[in-house]
Amino acid sequence: MQISDAIRTFRTQQIVTLRQSTQVHYITLLDHFLQHFSGGEIESITAGEVGQFLESQTTNKAKSTRRLRYAQVKAFFNFLINECLMDIKNPCSHPLIARQYKNPKPAVREILDKALVDQLIYSTTSDRDRLILELQARCGLRIGEVLKLRAADVSDRKLTIHEPKSGKESEIAFMPDQIAKRLAEYIIAENIGPEDRIFAVCDSTMRALIRRLAAKFHVKISPHDFRRHSATYASRNGVPLEIVSKVLLRHHDLKTTQVYLGKVNDTEAIRWMDVLHGK
């Protein structure tokens, strides 16, 4: 396959699956890719040549930028292999290249337990703040998704998330019955119109609130820790990983969900063995 044809096919797929801002980053990189290899066929590109191209694009760049460019080129070749069924090996998977651009080992984050999450939520002083934290901790929403919600986005137990992180036009999130009822009551009580934001508060205000709440209990947390808690709590209570990933967190890849889940300690491991097989 000609490189120009491969790039054209990949861009057609991007229009459907990726956000506009993400597409722009790919367009620039792939334009440089086409210029670097001066046409030719994808099958003829070697791992060494891809390594030289990546080096030309990432010299004197931050480590995060280097890893991003590597991931983008790797995704391009994976698309050709998986979607276009090309019988080639991904040159980015060559050990020398993969080692050079590998991601650092993620730091182990402390997962909030339910007792602490409940204390934080119940110590709020307004219905607004409690609902915001519960939509994160019980429904797995990102803080930005919560703050963008409009009254028209609420339909019984479902929430429509517009322009989500996945790049899709919209996604659906779900609520427990009690939260859905209190959210509906809040919208009526506050006289919120269909196109009005439900929570007229900015991101920085909520982060400051969470820092103050956390200080009361001598912990350091961010809004995203509530979303992580929702995933771990669901997983520990027997919810299948596929449901946690696709329904609660709305992740595209199960590997992303696994990063969210807290480390299983010995006590939990033994408890689950007893649940599965009896004592």
The tens digit of pLDDT for each residue in 120-146 reads 999 999 999 999 999 999 999 999 999
Residue 125: burial class (beta carbons within 10 Å; 0-12, 13-18, 19+): exposed
3-state secondary structure of 39: coil
Q: What is the pLDDT of residue 16?
A: 67
Q: Identify any residues that bridge with 2 across adjacent strands, giving them in sequence order.
A: 41
Domain 3-100: which topology?
Answer: DNA polymerase; domain 1 (1.10.150)
Domain residue ranges of the chain, discontinuous segments joined by +: 3-100, 114-274
For the beta sheet containing 158-162, the strands, ordered from the edge strand earlier in sequence to the opposite edge, are: 154-155, 158-162, 170-174
Q: Are 147 and 136 in contact (CB under 8 A)?
A: no
The tens digit of pLDDT for each residue in 230-274 reads 998 998 888 888 898 889 999 888 777 877 776 666 776 776 677
* 114-274 is a CATH 1.10.1060.10 domain: no
Residue type, 51: G
Residue 51's closest CA among 64, 36, 31?
A: 36
Measured CA to CA, the distance from residue 44 to residue 9 in angstroms comes to 18
Torsion on CA atoms 13, 16, 17, 18, rounded to nearest 10 = 100
Phi and psi of 239, rounded to 5°?
Answer: -70, 130
Q: What is the pLDDT of residue 43?
A: 92
**Residues 101, 75, 66, CA angle at the centre, nearest 5°?**
30
Q: Identify any residues that bridge with 159 across adjacent strands, giving them in sequence order.
A: 154, 173
Q: Which residue positions in the chain have pLDDT lower than 70?
A: 16-18, 106-109, 262-265, 268, 271-272, 275-276, 279
Q: What is the pLDDT of residue 255?
A: 77
Residue 250's closest CA among 176, 160, 185?
A: 160
pTM (global) more than 0.85: no
Q: What is the pLDDT of residue 107?
A: 62
